[in-house]
Structure 1
Amino acid sequence: MYIFLMPYDDAERNPYRALLPEIAVAEPHLLSLLLAYSASHRARLLGHKEPEVRMARWITDVIPRLNSDFSQSPGHSNASIANLASTIMLSSLEIISPNAFGSKIGWQNHLHFAREMMMSHCLWRPDTNTKEGECCAFLWSWFAYLDVLGSLSGGQWSNEISSKWVKSYEIIGREHPNPDEIDCIMGFTIRCVSLLARVSELCRKTTAQRMLPGRKINLNWQPDNETRETAEMLAMELRESLSRDSRVCQHIRPGSVDHKSLLEMFSTNEAFHWAGLIHLYRRAMGKTREDPLVQEAINKIVYHMSMIRRGGTGETGFLFPMFTAGCETLDMQHRIDIKKRIENVEAHGMKQDTVGRGVANIGSQVSQAKHLMLKVWETGDPWETLMQNEFIG
């Protein structure tokens, strides 16, 4: 699973290879989820049908066990860390394989549970100088990636998110000793994740104002002065963050990364900044697709996409910027290039047949993103109005 988040994989220091299995060996329910996740991905990679019965058998008791343990696990105990990892894993599994094991609990619900667990057990960005702290830091990065991109993906569920959650990201952005360090799990800087959380919160509020009955967007909508000022300030902060000298994270050993991999890391980080700007311009400031600022951001993402090797693992972490630019671009060549890139990601085992699943549940998040983007091109409608249960990332 590590290839779907990490733009660069150090076999010796990748926490998905080291920390996660170490936690799972001591916790049967997490180990069961790892087996189910691995079985799902292996089947996709080989083009086989997922072993749904076996997967369901592995995780039948996991959710009741987590509900039982939630109120009993104090602080940073091994149990609470394992439960958090299990809840994040459930969300990830539901994202890549919706309803594969028949629980009918969406990824949003698992993510909400993980957020509650994070806050109640004070697991936000702990000291990484201890083994326990290192585990929590790894889980925070994994969770934050799903949490922020999930909230940016929109949908009705995002209205249920408390506005308090964004404060946690703001505090982390201010207090982190190296906010311009590119987190190797997420693919962008700590400063960027804090800014994207604020973009998501603002877009959540403006979507409620822009959306008409029947899931239509009010094309004449314009933000009030307070919203416009907030959006303009956020846009300035994103551009200021882009101008900073970002650096690779501490997990990457000096001299262990080739120049091309480094270029991919920096390009991915910048692309997420530009994607955040597109969301601001379109959803919070009411700008049209033709607006020069929107087109500038699209062109920047397409440029950075050209820095990512075709068919490499770097493409898998680039889905959100690709989707964002793909939905808004008016350039046919851009559309062709982005569609091909997303299909490359599908070839990494993130594609699923649609037979028996219906249009609303078309398979993995990559296939869902592609079909949603194609529908935007076909109808010309904003992607938010076509959104159902997709996770874009």
Structure 2
Amino acid sequence: MICLKYTNMAIAGLREALCDPKKATKPETVTTAMALCMNDVCNGNMKIWRTHLRGVLRILMALLEHQRVSLKVMNDPFIQCLVKWFKTMDILAALSGVHGECIHNPGNGPLNSLSDHTTWHVDEISGYSLELIPILAEVSNLASQIRLRVAGETGNDYAPSLEMMIQAEELESKLLQLLDRPVCDETLSRGGSIALELQSTHLSFVHSALLHLHRRVQLHPKDHIKVRTDIKNILGALSLIEPHSPMNILILWPIFSGGCETEESEERNTILARMGNMQKLGMGNFTRAREVLRKYWVSGSQLPWDIYLARLGLELVLF
């Protein structure tokens, strides 16, 4: 009840701000809208949250236009943070659901006009190099095209076109080139485990992207050597993140993806234990992901998990 009280207060405050031209273009207004959008995910309101995400984009674009017109500095760290936050929500929504497309084009959309000189470093907000986002979008789009075809098939004789396979090989090469992306010097200067854990988070996302490509675009079976290698690499990266580290908040997509594609009991137990730690954070999307993962295992389905969920009418957002 207390959470609902403050949520309602935030919604009322956002409505008031959007009715005031001066407040509507403030970074704080965008921040509130994004927080409420994430609250939709935690509460399981998937259809509502997609609508709200589009609203967040409009508010964010209004803020950026106001900044441009008023000649304010466009690479303000706070605004950069908001842009990265939105991009992270957008790409993971595309990868998680049946739609497969980002609301904002991560390759050449207007949000990419902001200067960001650290895209090749591992980003502390998303947990991976921002160079990964447009590649993830391409992988997701290809997977979505194939999903539409496979979803209507009753047999297992569908094969991607030669053109798609060439695209997949090109994307695989791009992903492999991102494995060595470092953390920035500022992160290194803090000491402790943050640099290692951030690097490991990045690696888990790159290997998960490869897994997504191998299973959903190239349609390799679960026991294919590339798929098995991807899973081992994901788990290897995640093993370097402390079980109760705050970094666990970022890794729901990698750990869920790896969990769905393994049939090894030891790997499944490791994944369940890690997801149990994540579940203790109290976010509803973690709880639902663990429940869906168990259901997928019990089904014994050999379908990629996104196609399996689509056939059941289920939907997750894995962040």
Checking the alignment, whether the CA contact within 8 Å between 1:154 and 1:204 is kept in structure 2 is no
Checking the alignment, whether the CA contact within 8 Å between 1:169 and 1:194 is kept in structure 2 is no
Specify the alignment match of 1:112 in structure 2.
54
Counterpart AA for 2:285:
Q
Checking the alignment, whether the CA contact within 8 Å between 2:83 and 2:111 is kept in structure 1 is no
Specify the alignment match of 1:226 in structure 2.
163
Specify the alignment match of 1:96 in structure 2.
42
Displacement of 1:176: 4.4
Specify the alignment match of 2:134 in structure 1.
194
Checking the alignment, whether the CA contact within 8 Å between 2:10 and 2:32 is kept in structure 1 is no
Specify the alignment match of 2:176 in structure 1.
239
Q: 1:206 to 1:63 in 2, by over 3 A?
A: farther
Q: 1:173 to 1:288 in 2, by over 3 A?
A: farther
Displacement of 1:247: 2.3
Specify the alignment match of 1:154 in structure 2.
97
1:138 aligns with 2:138: no
Counterpart AA for 2:184:
V
1:386 aligns with 2:312: no
Counterpart AA for 2:37:
S
Match among 343, 356, 374 for residue 294 of structure 2: 374
Looking at structure 2, the residues matched to 284 and 120 of structure 1 have their Cα atoms a distance apart, in angstroms, of 36
Displacement of 1:111: 1.2
Once the two structures are overlaid, the 10-residue window that deviates more, 334-343 or 299-308, is: 299-308
Counterpart AA for 1:106:
I
Unaligned runs of 5+ in 1: 1-49, 351-363
Q: 1:176 to 1:225 in 2, by over 3 A?
A: farther
Displacement of 1:266: 0.8
Specify the alignment match of 2:189 in structure 1.
255
Looking at structure 2, the residues matched to 321 and 295 of structure 1 have their Cα atoms a distance apart, in angstroms, of 14
TM-score (norm 1): 0.70
Looking at structure 1, the residues matched to 107 and 56 of structure 2 have their Cα atoms a distance apart, in angstroms, of 17
Displacement of 1:245: 4.0
SS of structure 1 residue aligned to 2:97: coil
Deviations, residues 351-383 of structure 1 (Å, cap 9, x unaligned)? xxxxxxxxxxxxx10011111111110112332
Deviations, residues 17-42 of structure 1 (Å, cap 9, x unaligned)? xxxxxxxxxxxxxxxxxxxxxxxxxx
Looking at structure 2, the residues matched to 80 and 271 of structure 1 have their Cα atoms a distance apart, in angstroms, of 35
Displacement of 1:328: 0.2
Q: 1:118 to 1:222 in 2, by over 3 A?
A: farther
SS of structure 2 residue aligned to 1:247: coil
Q: 1:245 to 1:64 in 2, by over 3 A?
A: closer
Specify the alignment match of 1:325 in structure 2.
258
How large is the RMSD of aligned CA atoms in angstroms? 3.1
> What is the number of residues matched between the two proteins?
309
Displacement of 1:88: 1.1
Checking the alignment, whether the CA contact within 8 Å between 2:309 and 2:315 is kept in structure 1 is no
Looking at structure 1, the residues matched to 203 and 225 of structure 2 have their Cα atoms a distance apart, in angstroms, of 19
Counterpart AA for 2:127:
G
Looking at structure 2, the residues matched to 86 and 288 of structure 1 have their Cα atoms a distance apart, in angstroms, of 43
Specify the alignment match of 1:292 in structure 2.
225
Match among 321, 325, 342 for residue 275 of structure 2: 342
SS of structure 1 residue aligned to 2:282: helix
SS of structure 1 residue aligned to 2:259: helix
SS of structure 2 residue aligned to 1:165: coil
Identity, % of aligned positions: 21
Q: 1:171 to 1:278 in 2, by over 3 A?
A: farther
Looking at structure 1, the residues matched to 15 and 47 of structure 2 have their Cα atoms a distance apart, in angstroms, of 12
Counterpart AA for 2:175:
L
Looking at structure 1, the residues matched to 290 and 39 of structure 2 have their Cα atoms a distance apart, in angstroms, of 19
Q: 1:117 to 1:210 in 2, by over 3 A?
A: farther
Specify the alignment match of 2:151 in structure 1.
211
Checking the alignment, whether the CA contact within 8 Å between 1:183 and 1:249 is kept in structure 2 is no
Q: 1:121 to 1:340 in 2, by over 3 A?
A: same
Counterpart AA for 1:230:
Q
1:365 aligns with 2:285: yes
SS of structure 1 residue aligned to 2:280: helix
Specify the alignment match of 1:14 in structure 2.
none
